[in-house]
Amino acid sequence: MLRKILLPTILMILAYGFWISPDFKVIAAGVSIFLFGMLSLEEGFKAFSGGTLEKILQKSTDKLYKSIGFGIITTTVMQSSSLVSVLTISFLGAGLIGLAQGIGIVFGANIGTTTGAWLVAGLGLKVKISAYAMPMLVFGVILIFQKAKSLKGIGYILAGLGFLFLGIHYMKDGFEAFKDTIDLANYAVTGYKGLFIFTGIGVFATVVMQSSHATLVLIITALAAGQISYENALALAIGANIGTTITAILGAMSSNIVGKQLAGAHLIFNGVTGLIAIIFIHQLMYSVDFISNLVGIANDDYTLKLAVFHTIFNVIGVLVMVPFIGKLVTFLESTLKADSSKSDAGYDSARYLNDSVLELPSTSMAAIIRETKHLYDNAFEIITHGLNLKRSNIVSTMTLEEVIKDTYSKNTVNIDEFYNHRIKGIYGEIIDFSTKAQSNMSPEDIEVLYKLKLANRDIVEAVKDTKHLQKNLIKYSQSTNAHIKEQYNLIRKDLAELLRNINIVATTDEEDVILLLLSKAKVHTEKYDILANGTLDNLIRQGLITNEMATSLMNDSAYAYDISKNLIAMAEITFTDRNSSIVSLNEEMAMNAEDIKAILEKKDD
């Protein structure tokens, strides 16, 4: 509803401005070109965001000071705190970082955005940057039309910088010419009244343009042309800082609950920072004068003094809020909670799949991988219970003989009910989300995505095979015939060993351990071929089991084989690094099964 009213209002204001002054068109065009430049920059940086993004994030945000530093650097490079906020929400939504780390990045982004004011005030207004814009645009556009992703990304960055410079040039010239029509300086308002009015205007301008950086450039160029007073420019800068939170809130609308909590943190931080700046405006102005004199900034160089002010109040905001990050996280987690209606009804749903992670192919992929692990976690539970085993025993150091003796329940677990409540819905969401995600992925990423779909299918098939296996497994595990009971307990023991090994694979980063366990699991699947190894023939020939038992054992061994095969295939895709040599394990195993068996036998000896 708000957008339906806002757009016509903006268009009417622009049309009126064009009518009363041709020079207003130059300012509006400058803002438009600048914003288009920011969009091009965003597109360029996204081209370089894939691949090692997860590793960079883990190393750059594992401590608070690193998170703040990451926010400062990325915002300085990208020149858009709004983009960094939206991408941070995307990282959070995919589960790549925690809430405290996300808050640290947002704090750093607020400091990083001050570099834009310094660049425009210190360089953009003193150098004819439009001369640099032209060659950047020419080279940028040529590179955009190249097929290579990296060249295209560089092209977008060059074109983006060119449009930024060109936009600043037109805004500067527009305000200079606009003086002859209307002198906005005549509308200056002093005191706290002016402070609140112009803070509100700054908020409104940032909400409309969706960029505090664009608002700041507009303020600086207007200030340089003498169209606004220094005092009012400070108020506009405060408003721009508060207004930028709207972008984060809009980005969080499509995110999960953690993304919404980050948007809440952003709003609280910028709100508190703005309030501090308003309350202590006179003290801050005195500090600006002191620092300006210290570094040699002239008393009448108000554009650079605005940059000093912008830096001071953002740094103060971070220093004030950093000690309270822990309490802020606790407050947000207790105030903004996920919808529990489905979980209360016993249904589980996707945790990481939301539209905010679609910002980048890498975050989309990370979200799908994490959701696949979530699906497997649920499947792990039902498979162990279907085998009448306790999950806690499998992940413990208990011997496998003890694991199969300590049964889960005397009653049959309802696998159908569990499947409908904890598997089916998540699986459907993963498939639907994968279709959305592949629209902006490279062919290589789409190939990985296809394998992840197969991994999810393998999980679902393993659950269904457990259901088929369950009936006879429960029946014959309690049989008075010791031989058939032994065979079914062997099936339970082998699957318990497989589940234990996959749990180790899921929780270790050591490639050699992963390779050995998956190799061992593949070789051990041969145990289920009871026709080939002669087990079934011996049991029948010696009259140890009935024909009915033999038929059941043969069918159930096939189910156990399928469960094992599907879970190993899933683990190879889900729990190994995409760039690791383990990804090609299927092909290697097919060629070297005998060699691996020999190695494992030696290890067992």
CA dist., res. 177 & res. 158, Å (int): 29
pLDDT band at 110 (very low <50, low <70, confident <90, very high): confident
CA dist., res. 505 & res. 87, Å (int): 30
Q: What is the pLDDT of residue 603?
A: 46
Q: Where are the alpha helices (DSSP H) in 47-129?
A: 53-60, 64-78, 81-93, 99-112, 114-119
Residue 255 has pLDDT above 90, yes or no: no
Side-chain half-sphere of 35: how many Cα atoms within 13 Å? 16
CA dist., res. 91 & res. 409, Å (int): 41
pLDDT band at 339 (very low <50, low <70, confident <90, very high): low
Q: What is the pLDDT of residue 596?
A: 47
Q: Per-residue pLDDT tens for 387-409?
A: 999 999 999 999 999 998 888 88
Highest mean pLDDT, choosing among 166-180, 204-218, 265-279: 265-279
- Please give the mean pLDDT across all residues of the chain: 81
Q: Which residues contact 567 (CB under 8 A, 6 or more apart)?
A: 458, 459, 462, 498, 499, 502
155 or 118, higher pLDDT: 155
Q: What is the pLDDT of residue 394?
A: 93
What pTM value is reported for the model?
0.75
210: region left, alpha or beta (phi > 0 left; psi from -120 to 50 alpha): left
pLDDT band at 127 (very low <50, low <70, confident <90, very high): low
CA dist., res. 128 & res. 183, Å (int): 24
Q: Per-residue pLDDT tens for 542-596?
A: 888 888 888 888 888 889 989 999 999 999 888 876 555 545 544 444 444 455 4
